[in-house]
Structure 1
Amino acid sequence: MTRGTRDPGKRVKTARGRTASSNRWLERQLNDPYVKQAKAEGYRSRAAYKLIELDEKFGLLKGAHRVVDLGIAPGGWSQVVRKKRPKAAVVGIDLLEVEPIEGVTIFQMDFMADEAPAALEGALDGRPDFVMSDMAANTVGHKQTDHLRTMGLVETAAHFAIETLEEGGTFLAKVLAGGTDADLLALLKRHFKTVKHAKPPASRKGSSEWYVVAQGFKGR
């Protein structure tokens, strides 16, 4: 079969048994300047630059002393915190196993589990001043369901932040296209001085992800 005459009903195998879609993903990774930069600078993922860019825009890490990383895997965000705020206490949680990061306490558990919030709080000597979440639900292929599942995680993360943050603290979370829903946005505006949405340059143009940035926690 010559190029351009593939049967669209078949899954075309490429090098080493990869499918065409996985081959396109690999090609994109190899040509992605953020991936190359992450390897050169020792970050575990290109996602590190999303936090770096958001920090440059909003000053998220300025004065951060106790940080909670929700959905820490593979660890790029916590690596950024350790680099920029080496004396800060950092605790992270994820369902996935995460290779140790010097200076970071990591829990492998479900953030939605009842015991998770207490474990995170107990690992810090005081209330956090920055809660960051790069969590997203595993997709099932149904757009509305995927959106609801991810926003459920965002809402839980927001309530955790409101219950634990010290006054003046910051909450950062990944949301999907369309941003934070009305009820959650209203909740954040009640508890934070400023609430904004941003899409850092490191977030791929074709991605539906945005980030909500809530700063200046007013208290409970």
Structure 2
Amino acid sequence: MARPGQGSKPQGNQLKVRVKTGKGRTVAQKIWLERQLNDPYVIEAKKLGYRSRAAFKLIEIDDKYKFLKVGGRIVDLGAAPGGWSQVAAKRVKAEDGKGRVVAIDMHGMDPLPAVTIFKKDFYDEDAPRVLIDALGGEKADCVLSDMASHATGHRQTDHINIIALAETGYEFAREVLKPGGTYLAKVLRGGTEGQLLTMMKKDFTSVRHVKPMASRDDSAELFVLAMGFRG
């Protein structure tokens, strides 16, 4: 498993922010809020105008594997709040009219410069055609998926749910990718991701797990990167 990322993590506040219980917060909520307030990636995302810390995960992975090329056509599945779409639009130079980014999320999201957004479920039968039309009638160079189902607290159930999302995204990617294209999706450690990789190796020339530095060390989160779609 590769772990991209250069240098040290961004530096956050020198003094750690402490959060008190009360105001209706549980201990778990207090711990989560403290982690957010002290997370250097959260702080850096706010500073740079990214909608989520997840933007840095995509930045690190693309810095190493370079699949978001100028002029590329990108589909972002389950895109809200839009951090990955922001990164993709910048890297393909969508604002300059050189590339296109189409984002789809069943909950919708606020507008982003140079990103076409659909409030729609990518499970819908017409979704592939709608997105290809939005890309100017051409298939995509890359399909991105940072989707995760709502956590249940049961590790195996959460793992099965997120792998199911990744597998569905993979089937979708097969419909909308052009030959040579890339599929990047979030998964979790737990065993089943090996079966997903076996499936993908039939359709892509290169398949690997990656864990960017921006993924928390204590997280089971991984990303599966499949490149060189055979079509």
Q: Alignment length, in residue pairs?
A: 207
Higher Cα Rg, which structure: 1
Coordinate RMSD, CA, aligned: 1.7
- Say whether 1:52 aligns with 2:59: yes
- Gaps of at least 5 residues in structure 1 are 1-12
Q: 1:60 to 1:179 in 2, by over 3 A?
A: farther
Q: After the TM superposition, which parts of structure 1 deviate over 4 Å for at least 4 consecutive aligned residues?
A: none
Q: How far off its partner does 1:78 sit?
A: 0.7
Cα separation, 1, equivalents of 2:35 and 2:155: 23
Aligned amino acid, residue 90 of structure 1: V
Post-superposition offset of 1:79: 0.5
What is the match of residue 148 of structure 1?
160
| Distance of 1:170 and 1:200 partners within structure 2 | 17
Match of 1:95 in 2: 106
Separation in 2, partners of 1:48, 1:84: 12
2:49 maps to 1:42:
yes
* Distance across 2 between alignment mates of 1:57 and 1:212: 14
In structure 2, what is the Cα distance between the partners aligned to 1:199 and 1:190?
A: 23
Per the normalisation by structure 1, the TM-score is 0.88
Letter in 2 for 1:26: L
Q: Which has the higher contact order (CA 8 A, sep 6+)?
A: 2
Q: Quick check: 147-156 or 180-189, which moved more?
A: 180-189
More moved, 58-67 vs 22-31: 58-67
Contact 1:192–1:215, Cα closer than 8 Å, also in 2: yes
Matches within 5 A, 1:101-180: 101-125=112-136, 126-178=138-190
Cα deviation digits, residues 169-203 of structure 1 (max 9, x gap): 11100011146634422221111111010110001
The question of whether the paired residues in 1 share the 8 Å contact of 2:182 and 2:229 is answered with: yes
SS of structure 1 residue aligned to 2:84: helix
Instruction: Output the TM-score relative to the length of structure 2.
Output: 0.84
Amino acid at match of 1:155: E
**What 5-or-longer segments of structure 2 have no aligned partner?**
1-19
SS at match of 1:166: strand
Q: CA deviation at 1:136?
A: 1.2
Equivalent position SS for 2:201? helix
Q: Distance in 2 between matches of 1:132 and 1:139?
A: 21
Identity %: 54
The yes-or-no answer on 1:33 pairing with 2:52 is: no
Deviation at 1:64, TM superposition (A): 5.3
- Deviation by residue 1:91-133 (Cα, 9 ceiling, x = unmatched): 1111223110011111122222323223222211100001010
